[in-house]
Amino acid sequence: MAYCIAIHGILGFTKALALEVASQGITVNAICPTWVDTAMARQGIEETASSLGVSPDEFREIAISAIPIKRMAAAEEVASVALFFAHMRLVR
């Protein structure tokens, strides 16, 4: 739940900042991916599964079923989005 609250905070801040600086031609973006297949996510899955009394594989399937594309994102995919935004800044 704390992660969800943090993401909504980031989105709210991003929107507010975008409105504040739009008149100066500045674009503000936030990258808020779904579950990303990393060591941290795997640890979180194990901890959450343990607290719920289910196996890590069972909780992973539950988590993935809530993702529209039905899979975790790869870290490289998230990095590609960040590079895209950085590149867009350079070509403007």
As annotated, the active-site residues are 3
User: CA–CA separation, 46 vs 48, rounded Å?
Assistant: 6
Closest residue by Cα to residue 75 from 42, 27, 28, 48: 42
User: CA–CA separation, 51 vs 45, rounded Å?
Assistant: 10
